[in-house]
Amino acid sequence: MIRLRKVKILSDKLTEIGRDAFAWCNELEEVNIPEGVTRIGDHAFWWSLCLRKVELPSTLTRIEDFAFDSDPLDSIDIPAGVTFIGRNAFWNNPELKKVYSRPVVPPTTSEWSDTKPHLPFHYSSTETAILYVPKGSAEAYRASEVFSEFQNIVELEEWQWPT
């Protein structure tokens, strides 16, 4: 068992959090991913059972399959440049209350398969969590495969986004 509690990556040369990088870090509570990272790999934070806070960089474009599977995140802020969120990426996050998705065009997801069968937010609290999206994009999010399970979608003006 790895006993990390907080991770703050200081390198400005890092472009990717690799596959299984922090998987099974059972005491990890908080992660700050630096600017310059464009991809979070498969299973990167899989089953980090105490992970409640993640800061994603504005440079992020891809969140791969199972990246935050079974983590107790209470909110997530998806940067505007994200174009892809893999299957099971946020699977089984029942504590999720708020998802801020900044891309005007909703991200796509990977193909269904026997090994990655679920939509990115399946078994998360999509019936009660609030999905915040850019003004004018709610219909695109409702039609999006990635966010199709969310029942509460709220559009935000540019000045309303949290900083």
pLDDT (tens place) for every residue of the chain, 163 residues total: 557 788 878 778 899 999 999 998 888 899 999 999 999 999 999 988 889 999 999 999 999 999 999 999 999 999 999 999 999 999 999 999 999 999 999 999 999 988 888 999 999 999 999 999 999 999 999 999 999 999 999 999 999 999 8
pLDDT of residue 2: 57
pLDDT of residue 1: 55
Q: Tell me if 159 sits within 8 A of 128, measured CB to CB.
A: no
Residue for token pair 């099971």: 88
Looking at the chain, how many residues does it have? 163
Measured CA distances, 106 to 8, 79, 85, 128, 141 (Å): 28, 11, 10, 20, 6
Residues with Cβ within 8 Å of 105's Cβ and at least 6 positions away in sequence, in order, are: 83, 137, 140
Q: Tell me if 88 sits within 8 A of 110, measured CB to CB.
A: no
